[in-house]
Amino acid sequence: MMSKMASLRPLLLLLAALTLSPQGLADYVKPSVEKLPIHKPSIEKPPVYKLPVEKPPIHKPPIEKPPIEKPPFHKPYGKPLVLESQYEKPPIEKPPLYKPPIEKPPVEKPPIEKPPVEKPPPVEKPPIEKPPVEKPPVEKPPIEKPPVEKPPVEKPPIEKPPVEKPPPVEKPPVEKPPVEKPPVEKPPAEKPPIEKPPVEKPPVEKPPVEKPPPVEKPPPPPPVEKPPVEKPPIEKPPVEKPPVEKPPVERPPVEKPPVEKPPVERPPVEKPPVEKSPVEKPPIEKPPIEKPPVEKPPIEKPPIEKPPVEKPPPIEKPPVEKPPVEKPPLVEKPPIEKPPVEKPPVHKPPYGKPPVHEAQYVKLQVRKPLVHKPPHGKPLV
C-alpha cells in the first residue's frame, strides 16, 4: 500500500498543475529518470593446488670454541681495608664439561725430493798489512787553585729577661644555705570502672596444613687457611725540632667582693579541688522534608516511513572440486644420546639472621653530675 501511494503522488501533482495553469502542458519539463545501479557479482577463481617442496635436512657440524683466558684482576689502591671474612663465599665448583675425543684421520704426505745445491769454490784473498800508528805524548800543566779564606762568624749573646710570676689569689670559701622544698600533696584520682559487653566470636575452622619434608642441609665447607703475611718494619728517621721561646704573659690579679644572698621562704600553695558538673544536651529534632512530585509530559514521536529495499537475486556458485592431498611419509630421526651431567652440591647459607650478642648493644649507665640551683625569687632590698 505504501509503495502504491508513493507512485500515485507525482500523478496527482501533475493533474493539479494542468488544471490550475492556463497554458496547460506548454512549459512541461520531463522529470529526470535515475537508473538504479546494476549489481554485478564478483567472479571467484578456484585456488590452485601446489605440491609442497621437500627440502633435504642440512647437517651442521658441532662448533667447538676454545677456552677463554682472562688476565688476573688487580684491585685498585686507595680503598679502605675490608676484612675478607665479611665477604667470604663458598667456592663455586663447576661440573667438568664432557668433550668427546676428536679423531683425526692420518694425513699421508709424499716425500719431497730436493735437487742438490752446487756451491761455488772459495775465493782466496791476500792478507792486508797495516802500518802501526804512533801518537805523540800530550803534556798537561798542573792546575793550581788559590786558598779560600773565610772570616770568623761572631754571634752576640742572647739575654733573656727574668720571668715574674703573679702572687697567688686567695678566694674566701662560699657558704650556701640548704634548700628545703615543701612536700606536694596530690588528691587521689578516681576513675569510674569501664564495663565492656562480652564479645562472642564464632569458632574458626582451619584446614590441616601439610608440612613439606625436612631438607637435609649439606655440611659447611672447610675453612680456608691463608699463609701469614710478613711485612718489613718501617724505620722513620728522628725529627729534631728547635725549642720554641714564648714571652711571659703578665695578668693583673682580679679581686671580686663576696656576694651574700638572703634565703627566700615561700608558703605552700593549696588549690581546692575543682568539680565539674556533667553537661546534658537536648536532642535535636529535624522536621521531614517533603518534595512535590514532578510531572513530565509524554513525548510523542512521529512514525518513520522507510522505503522498501529490493534485494538482488541470490548467486549460485558452482561446486569447487579439490584434488586429494598426498602427504609425504614421516622420516624418523635417530635419538640423540647426551652424556649425564653431574651437578656439584650447592652450599646455601643457613636460614634466619646471624646471632647478635647482647654485649654489642648494652648501653653504659651515664651518671650526671649534681648541679646546685639557687632558690627562686628576687633578693630583698
Please report the pLDDT score of residue 251 as a whole number: 80
- 164 three-state secondary structure: coil
CA distance 49 to 323: 8
Please report the pLDDT score of residue 39 as a whole number: 81
**CA dist 148 → 52, 151, 152 (Å):** 116, 10, 13
Only one residue has cell 578516681, namely 190
Give pLDDT tens digits for 308-352. Answer: 777 777 777 777 788 777 777 777 777 788 878 788 777 776 666
In the predicted model, is pLDDT for residue 282 greater than 80? no
Residue type at position 188: P
Most confident of 14-18, 33-37, 211-215, 350-354: 14-18
Percentage helix, strand, coil for the chain under 3-state DSSP, each rounded to 5? 5, 0, 95
CA distance 154 to 150: 12
Percent of the chain with pLDDT over 90: 0
In the predicted model, is pLDDT for residue 9 greater than 70? yes
In the predicted model, is pLDDT for residue 103 greater than 80? yes
**Alpha helices for the chain (secondary structure H):** 2-20
First-residue to last-residue Cα distance in the chain:
128
Report the length, in residues, of the chain: 381
DSSP state letter for 85? G
Please report the pLDDT score of residue 22 as a whole number: 54
Residue 150 in grid coordinates: 773565610
Give pLDDT tens digits for 104-138. Answer: 888 888 888 888 888 888 888 888 888 888 888 88
Q: What is the mean pLDDT of residues 247-263?
A: 78
- Nearest by Cα to 326 from 44, 130, 51, 11: 51
**CA dist 157 → 38, 150, 160 (Å):** 138, 22, 10
CA distance 183 to 268: 8
Please report the pLDDT score of residue 356 as a whole number: 64
pLDDT band for position 362 (cuts 50, 70, 90) = low
Angle at 339 between CA 333 and CA 341, to 5 degrees: 130
Give pLDDT tens digits for 146-180. Answer: 788 887 888 878 888 788 887 888 887 888 878 88
Residue 327 in grid coordinates: 602427504
Query: Up-side HSE of residue 167: CA atoms within 13 Å toward CB?
Result: 5
Q: What is the mean pLDDT of residues 264-286?
A: 78
**CA dist 346 → 219, 221, 350 (Å):** 10, 11, 12
In the predicted model, is pLDDT for residue 2 greater than 60? no
CA distance 318 to 311: 21
Give pLDDT tens digits for 38-91. Answer: 888 888 888 888 888 888 888 888 888 888 888 777 666 666 666 655 666 777
CA distance 90 to 222: 9
Average pLDDT, whole number, for the chain?
A: 77
Q: Contact, 261 vs 379, CB < 8 A?
A: yes
Percent of the chain with pLDDT over 70: 85
Q: Contact, 344 vs 93, CB < 8 A?
A: yes
Please report the pLDDT score of residue 62 as a whole number: 85
